[in-house]
Amino acid sequence: MDLVVDGWFHERGMLWPGQAMSLQVKKILDHHRSDFQDILVFESEKHGNVLVLDGVIQVTERDEHAYQEMIAHIPLYAHPNPKKVLVIGGGDGGVLREVARHPGVEEIVECEIDEGVINVAKKYFPSLSKGYDDPRVTVKIMDGAKFMDENQDSFDVIITDSSDPVGPASVLFETPFYNAMYKSLREGGIVCTQGECIWLHLDLIKPLVESIRGTYSTVEYAYTTIPTYPSGQIGFIIATKGRGECKKPERKPSEEVQEVLKYYTPELHEAAFVLPAFAKRSIFGEI
């Protein structure tokens, strides 16, 4: 299937049948296949540089902050004193950039299975990949589940920034992976994972939430709005080990940090957990 036709990139996917997202292409910067997936980078007319994996938009420079800030800062500000943070996926570096805004964090480990994503991010997305420049960051090119199996009871916060549950990311949406995260968490820890879209994927979200509620102390769902993701919305599954809910931040950004953030605020942190009636009813069986 041609991804670019008549100067427009068209995102079509099996997870959003009957709809598509199109962006006007100014210039194709890179298109190749890594050991794991098809990687396309193009300069768009209105959204800056765009990263596409297996035909699906992962990042645009125009709106990436709405996702990167929320998936990182919701769990980090919900934790009173995170010291060790694990990022699984997130090869573009955006989550690392946001984690690095927390001065109390002492160690940041990223497990990315596809080094090809890191390479194109460093070349074409410097505003995201600057996260790799932080001296607290260690990068592991390996399977995240294997790393967690080797590092149990180790992390205060685990953030899984994955693509959709097809191809190499499919295992990240299965119960065994959530069990591995639980074992790798310290007591009082928090996991936050990419949780798909309430308009399209309730059939994926509900059984996953139900399957892990018996393991984790709390399981919640929050979301952000982002124009270039399917239906303009994407959620986060947020689960804890030996502590309460994450709806209210334990800490707040300093004035200096808040001035550079484009999306996250403490008020929006709390609002992100307020779900529409249909989603709350479907995921948690309540209104």
- Residue 265 in tokens: 């605020």
Kindly tell me the sign of the dihedral angle through the C-alpha atoms of 139, 145, 149, 152: positive
Q: Is 164 exposed, middle or buried (0-12, 13-18, 19+ CB in 10 A)?
A: buried
Quickly tell me which residue has 């090809």 as its tokens: 116
Active site residue 164: no
| Spatial distance between the Cα atoms of 178 and 191, rounded to a whole number of angstroms | 9
Taking each helix axis as running N to C, give the angle between helix 202-212 and helix 277-284, from 0 to 180 degrees, rounded to the nearest 10.
40
d(CA 143, CA 111) in angstroms, rounded, equals 7
β-bridge partners, 219: 239
Catalytic residue, chosen from 6, 161, 164, 203, is: 161
Q: Is the dihedral of CA 29, 34, 36, 38 positive or negative?
A: positive
Q: Which residues contact 76 (CB under 8 A, 6 or more apart)?
A: 82, 85, 98, 99, 102, 105, 157
Catalytic site residues?
A: 161
